[in-house]
Amino acid sequence: MANPADLTERDIRFRRVREAMEKDGLNALVIAGHGSQFNRGYIRYFADTHLWAGDSLILIPLEGEPV
């Protein structure tokens, strides 16, 4: 990750996702990632963290902090 996302970019990403969640009537979103080359981008988009191996989950509530 030569160009990590800054906090402004993070906030834009969460705002866009939450707008879509609200439109679709979702209270929370679970993002799943795996260390394979095809799935780790899901985690990277939201956490700006590279997942080298294993599994990871992120819970994004409609309101409040992600876990």
Residue 53 has pLDDT above 80, yes or no: no
Mean local confidence (pLDDT), 52-60: 86
In a domain, 66, yes or no: no
Q: What pLDDT is attached to residue 27?
A: 97
Find the domain containing 47 and state its range: 7-61
Of 14, 13, 11, 54, give the one whose Cα is nearest residue 32. Answer: 54
Q: Domain count of the chain?
A: 1
Residue among 37, 58, 61 nearest 48 (CA): 58
At 13-51, the pLDDT tens digits run 899 999 999 999 999 999 888 877 776 677 778 887 777
In a domain, 2, yes or no: no
pLDDT of res. 55: 85
Instruction: Note whether residue 67 is domain-resident.
Output: no
